[in-house]
Amino acid sequence: MKAELNLPAGFRFHPTDEELVNFYLCRKCASEQISAPVIAEIDLYKFNPWELPEMSLYGEKEWYFFSPRDRKYPNGSRPNRAAGSGYWKATGADKPIGKPKTLGIKKALVFYAGKAPKGIKTNWIMHEYRLANVDRSASVHKKNNLRLDDWVLCRIYKRKGPWRSTTLPMRNRGP
């Protein structure tokens, strides 16, 4: 999926959390044009994390995606974190992004291969950015609509270091 982008020599895409929310996520959610199209639109919860780098538009060690986010239950507010052959598990507290006014929320997640709660922790990390102060109640959306957010922005990368478990089958390990 990597497209031939017309970017200047030496271009590096390494935005801060505030830049990701202000200049990319806010604009995407408002259907405004983004000047440098370096973030792919995919439903990343349909894939394993090691499949995502080849689907990105740009990146070597970290990859960015706009993705919809769905509900786990039709009338609930919990997001569905199942993905590919495993699931993303939230770690730590949400981090507000933006000062003095909070515009977005950053959540850190780790990919576990297999079914919860017995999944095997991997080195794949996701930082998920969502807009703050958005009404996500089921009553706002159409009946039986599982969509929680039209768009979240995700940064995916693989943490350095050895795998924590050697019991994960080779076909599920990823590159």
Tracing tokens 């970290």 back to the chain, one arrives at 62
Task: Report how far residue 55's alpha carbon sits from residue 53's, in angstroms, rounded to the nearest whole number.
Answer: 5
- Please, how many CA atoms are within 13 Å of residue 40, restricted to the half-sphere of its CB? 21
For the chain, domains (ranges, CATH) are 17-163 (2.170.150.80)
Task: Report how far residue 160's alpha carbon sits from residue 171's, in angstroms, rounded to the nearest whole number.
Answer: 20
Cis amide leading into 53 (omega within 30): no
Task: Report how far residue 55's alpha carbon sits from residue 84's, in angstroms, rounded to the nearest whole number.
Answer: 14
Per-residue pLDDT tens for 19-34? 999 999 999 988 888 8
Task: Report how far residue 151's alpha carbon sits from residue 68's, in angstroms, rounded to the nearest whole number.
Answer: 5
- Please, how many CA atoms are within 13 Å of residue 52, restricted to the half-sphere of its CB? 32
Q: Is the pLDDT of residue 48 over 90?
A: yes
Per-residue pLDDT tens for 90-146? 998 999 998 889 999 999 999 999 998 999 999 999 999 999 976 545 444 454 455
Q: Average of pLDDT values for 85-93?
A: 95
